[in-house]
Chain A
Amino acid sequence: MVSVNRIAAPSVTTSAAAPSTAGSRRIPQNGGGDGDGDNFGGPSEGDGNI
């Protein structure tokens, strides 16, 4: 769950992304399966799949 909250305000929750499990922590890049921006010319993420 990714929560996005305004500081000092009631909680507002958005974008329910399931946490990665231990077996799926490696995130494919270079078009390897996900649709993230860094596969399409966007900035590189902070993943450590090296």
Chain B
Amino acid sequence: MSLRHHRRRGTAAAALVAALSLALSGCTSGPAAPSSDKQAAQAQPNTAGPAGFAWFRPGAAPAAWLRASLPGQHATLFYPNSLRPMPGDHGTVTVGRDSRAGAVLVYLNVTPRQGDETLRDWPGFRLAHLRYDGMTAVHLDGVSPSLHFRGGRGRCVIDNYTTKIHSNHYQEIACFVQGTHAASVLVAATSARTWRAYRPLLDQVVSSYQAG
């Protein structure tokens, strides 16, 4: 992936958010996307309710959505057809969409469990990993209890961080999901600036995830 695709977003990217978010969300419903740069800039990291995970309701994805499975696993990501496969490590699944200006609008990644992460230590593991990868200003916004995913159990964190390169500020829902046969990590992220706009879509992606 070229540097151009991940350079710091410009104002044009924010202006595209309103139009693109509706298209990206497909069959999702939720709050209206920001309609201007000002509104987008005012969007702050937010969680739904005190626990932050009241939105999680495991269930089938809309029929029109696409799916991508991890090699050799039952773990399956469902996503709207407005997103496209993106470069990623071998053996992983990455789909998403960038703005024309190179800003990340939606980023979804599924990776087989590679480390020693467990349901119990997932919150600490994820944040430590972000810091290990050079992220700064890593901030935990929410931690879920054990959640019933389709085909397994999982635990999620909502956090935000700033990248070492280009100082991009992202917010994510990152889940460790243990299925019957295998465990995997699901990341659903967007720019912190567009978090509110794409949150309904990310929530639905996480809720429809099929464990391996």
Known: A2-B68, A19-B91. Contact between A41 and B7, CB under 8 A?
yes
The one of B67, B87, B90, B172 in contact with A19, judged by C-beta atoms closer than 8 angstroms, is: B90
B72 touches A19 (CB 8 A): yes
Known: A3-B69, A36-B1, A46-B185. Contact between A41 and B165, CB under 8 A?
yes
The one of A20, A39, A48 in contact with B165, judged by C-beta atoms closer than 8 angstroms, is: A39
A41 touches B67 (CB 8 A): no
Q: Which residues of A contact B90 (CB under 8 A)?
A: 17-20
Within the complex, what minimum Cβ distance (angstroms) separates B210 from chain A?
A: 12
Count of chain A to chain B residue pairs whose CB atoms are closer than 8 Å in the complex = 153
**Number of A positions contacting B (CB below 8 A):** 36
Known: A4-B68, A48-B115, A48-B117. Contact between A43 and B104, CB under 8 A?
yes
Task: With A30-B134, A40-B166, A43-B107 given, name 9 new contacts (CB 8 A).
Answer: A1-B71, A5-B68, A14-B85, A17-B91, A20-B112, A37-B87, A43-B189, A45-B88, A45-B94
